[in-house]
Amino acid sequence: MKRLSTDLTLKDAKITRRMFLKGVGAVTVTSSLGMAGALNFNPQISNASDDTTVKYIHSCCTVNCTSRCRLKGHVQNGKIVAVTPGLLPGRDDYANACLRSMSLAQRLQDPKQRVLYPMKRVGERGEGKFERITWDEAYDIITAKLNETKEKYGAQAASFFTMSGNLAKLAWESTTRLGACFGGTTYITEGIMGDHGASMGMRLVFGQERGGHDTRDYMNSKLIIMWGRNLADTHTSELRYLIKARENGAKVIVIDPRQSSTTAVADQWISIRPQTDPALALGMINYLISNNLHDTAWLKAYSCAPLLVRNDNGQYLRLGDKYAVWDENSKVIVPADTPNINPSLTGEYTSAEGIKCHPSFVNLVNEASKYTIKATAEICGLEEAVVEQLAHEYATMKPAAIRMGQGMQRVYNSFAPFRTVATLAGVAGYIGVSGGGASHMGGTSSINPIPGVTVPDFNFKEWTDTGGKPLIEKKSSHIYDMAANGEIQFLWIGVSNFINQSPDANRVINKVLPKIPFIVHVDPFWTWTGKYADLILPGKTYWEVWDILVRSPWVMLDQPAIPNMGESKSDCEIASEVAKRLGFGQLWNKTDEEWVRTFMTSQHPAFASFNWDKFVEDGIFTRSDGIFDPVYSFKDQKYNTPTRKFEFYTEKLAEFGEQVPTYKRMLEDPKGELAKKYPLVCINYHDRLNVHTQHILYPALRIVQSEPLVQINPVDAKARGIAHDDKVKVLNDRGFCVVKAFVTEGIAPGVTALANGWTPDYYIGGNHQTLTHLTLNPVEEAISQTNSAFSDVLVEIKKA
């Protein structure tokens, strides 16, 4: 396999910033220029002399990478021959299409890659032996199995599971809606996806699961920290603004155990040990407070810092139904909303009832005080000077912004990194400040509320009608145990390659799926999960269906751009036919196009100019109340937490000793007993090739990489006699994978990394998901649900 700068890497085991930039640039430019050729598109064909032979159909990329790009399909003779960026009205600067989206047309039009007909298993599960059947046969089998399940075990024994393979309205929700109409069980899937830690952490402090700054707002930042965030590969539409902010004078720091592509545009890379992010944030908080660099005015006005906490039980002190503070002016305990007071952040006080209490800020100060510069550096595997410099620059280069990424949360205690880093931003007074913030994803609401308007934006009334059946929604973290306990007798999997994207694949294959009598899998492509299904149904991609994706302030349209591939159907079409046979077809009595038309029949004034024909022609509708300037969250300092303040102290977590942000070592601790056998931490990351398993492996992307690799530091490689490109086995007690070694100083010693998404077909042996685990976390279960700890994994690596 060819790689850029390989000889230089091997020569001195170092990749310089110049080399890294050169390599990334070469890959990006070459791949982009080569995409039209890869799709067999000759640009000269679409010149003015032959315009009539090419149609342009717009679509929206609905895979789960957060960019949600508008795409322009070049269609000729019934085939998509090229894909280019589509403009977003009001944002001429934002047209974007990545390598993945531009090359998707190769795979979706390749009949060898597609499931073309309904297929019934004839061999053992996992053998991949299927026979073609008709749609009527498929529907009859499903109907019979569902009715049998309902009769013997109750409707709830039928499970309907979706992940994030297609986030368009009909595609994403059809399976769940069908399950609800039937009375079956559905799932909150963020947990098993490994994406729920951020939601939990942000909700604890902000009272909402999202809240961030438009990346363009970083033009107002003096310092930008990309903390576990790799914009260059995973949020390509945003990278341009990070580059512009740096050109504008902002310093960019990347904190990541791995030298991601984003470090190519950064001033500094801090190679932190995995899962020590909370310790680094606590160390920075301690530095700010110890050096009187914290924003006491912000903390008093907008955070829970002055709210009094009882010494006896860790709960907030109440005066009636109000929270309480100690007023330095009157020297008494008063309701927190009393006007013209000066609440204290320190001390211990006694209420009129004799209850001893103290400001919650005291708890944070005490916890953070454990993390001196020396202690923090030792935990995080960093030099003391690096920790001190980072803390000082963050406090003094005002305003400073933090963008957090998914990599921070795929650990045990996954809520802690986001909660702690956001608390750091609060202590510094950067929340609700332009150029500041602690963001998960870019941006926030981009709609101007219209006073007095109460009508809904979209007409989803019929779609939300499930015939009076309640939504039975379970935690996805419980799905393995539910199967083992016999609670799942029928499983429908939609928009999800479940085995490849769920932890501990061997457990799934050998212990979970065998307990489920019948499995239906709907997907456009042949997948690892499909091999273990009893019935595979051919789904469609976003270039083949009528659907919408709401990306405020735009509504983007998916519409058929090519003729049907085989006998494939949309998720909604399939669900509709099953619903008819189950006796509630009246709830599914529209075609996909009719559903989309219904959704857009809004009485909201922002939709007054909507025209269906123009919507189809343009593939996009722009609301009249849209905001197109940079926006950011919490400018009004309003939070939906129980205290209605920025809340770093969570009283319901006092029983776990987690009332304020804390740092806990990894579940699979590299300094623990297990490390004697498996001494290397194995993290899982997203690269530029795949959005989960969505894009493996188009010929046009082979220029970037053609197989999975394990990244390993030269120190660890030398100790094991491993050279660059050696075939190696990555293993632990759960499983293994065999890949080639990529020896690089671009990863911290003691850490290895495997890219997410690669299926067994591309490994020399095994798969990365056989190394991972699902271990329930009591604290996370109390908050919401356990988040899959894909990067809390210990392994050993040996030459194969």
pLDDT confidence tier of residue 33, bands split at 50, 70 and 90? very low
Share of the chain above pLDDT 90, in %: 82
Confirm if 222 and 654 have CB atoms less than 8 A apart: no
If 0-12 CB within 10 Å is exposed, 13-18 middle and 19+ buried, where does residue 145 land?
buried
pLDDT confidence tier of residue 442, bands split at 50, 70 and 90? low
Question: Which conformational region is residue 68 in: left (phi greater than 0), alpha (psi within -120 to 50 degrees), or beta?
Answer: left
Average pLDDT score over residue span 504-526: 97
Per-residue pLDDT tens over the stretch 227-250 = 999 998 888 889 999 999 999 999
**pLDDT for 424 beyond 90:** yes
pLDDT for 36: 45
Sign of CA dihedral 623, 629, 632, 633: negative
Q: Whats the size of the chain, residue-wise?
A: 800
Beta-strand (E) ranges in 552-609? 554-558
- 584 vs 592: CA distance, rounded Å: 17
pLDDT for 544: 96
Phi, psi of 169, rounded to the nearest 5 degrees: -55, -60
Confirm if 277 and 255 have CB atoms less than 8 A apart: yes
pLDDT for 354: 95
Confirm if 512 and 192 have CB atoms less than 8 A apart: no
pLDDT for 165: 86
**pLDDT for 52 beyond 70:** no
Share of the chain above pLDDT 70, in %: 93
pLDDT confidence tier of residue 16, bands split at 50, 70 and 90? very low
pLDDT confidence tier of residue 686, bands split at 50, 70 and 90? confident
pLDDT for 105: 84
Beta-strand (E) ranges in 423-540? 438-439, 472-475, 490-494, 518-523, 535-538
Average pLDDT score over residue span 172-177: 96
Ranking 35-44, 126-135, 687-696 by mean pLDDT, the lowest is: 35-44
pLDDT for 39: 53
**pLDDT for 212 beyond 80:** yes
pLDDT for 697: 66
Average pLDDT score over residue span 471-492: 96
DSSP state of 65: S
Average pLDDT score over residue span 756-776: 95
**pLDDT for 752 beyond 70:** yes
pLDDT for 742: 97
If 0-12 CB within 10 Å is exposed, 13-18 middle and 19+ buried, where does residue 153 land?
middle
The tokens describing 393, both together, are 């620059």
Average pLDDT score over residue span 134-163: 97
pLDDT for 706: 86
Confirm if 441 and 208 have CB atoms less than 8 A apart: no
pLDDT confidence tier of residue 444, bands split at 50, 70 and 90? low
Per-residue pLDDT tens over the stretch 360-391 = 999 999 999 999 999 999 999 999 999 999 99
Per-residue pLDDT tens over the stretch 60-88 = 999 888 788 999 999 999 999 999 999 99
Q: What is the 3-state secondary structure (H, E, C) of 211-253?
A: CCECHHHHHHCCEEEEECCCHHHHCHHHHHHHHHHHHCCCEEE
Cis? peptide before 399, omega within 30° of 0? yes
Average pLDDT, the chain: 91
If 0-12 CB within 10 Å is exposed, 13-18 middle and 19+ buried, where does residue 679 land?
middle
Ranking 20-29, 144-153, 173-182, 206-215 by mean pLDDT, the lowest is: 20-29
Kindly give the pairing relationship between strand 54-60 and strand 472-475. unpaired
pLDDT confidence tier of residue 445, bands split at 50, 70 and 90? low
Sign of CA dihedral 584, 590, 591, 595: negative
Sign of CA dihedral 54, 55, 58, 63: negative
pLDDT for 297: 98
**pLDDT for 51 beyond 60:** no
Confirm if 256 and 269 have CB atoms less than 8 A apart: yes
Per-residue pLDDT tens over the stretch 274-311 = 999 999 999 999 999 999 999 999 999 999 999 999 99
pLDDT for 694: 77
pLDDT confidence tier of residue 702, bands split at 50, 70 and 90? confident
pLDDT for 99: 84
pLDDT confidence tier of residue 403, bands split at 50, 70 and 90? very high
This model's pTM is above 0.75? yes
Provide the CB-side half-sphere exposure for 759 (13 A, CA): 20
Which has the higher per-residue pLDDT, 53 or 151?
151
**pLDDT for 340 beyond 90:** yes
Per-residue pLDDT tens over the stretch 87-140 = 999 998 989 988 888 888 888 899 999 999 999 999 999 999 999 999 999 999
Average pLDDT score over residue span 140-159: 98
pLDDT for 102: 85
Per-residue pLDDT tens over the stretch 556-602 = 999 999 999 999 999 999 999 999 999 999 999 999 999 999 999 99
pLDDT for 705: 82
**pLDDT for 14 beyond 80:** no
Element (H, E) at 752: strand 751-755
Ranking 303-317, 444-458, 639-653, 723-737 by mean pLDDT, the lowest is: 444-458
**pLDDT for 177 beyond 90:** yes
pLDDT for 502: 95
Cis? peptide before 553, omega within 30° of 0? yes
Average pLDDT score over residue span 678-682: 98
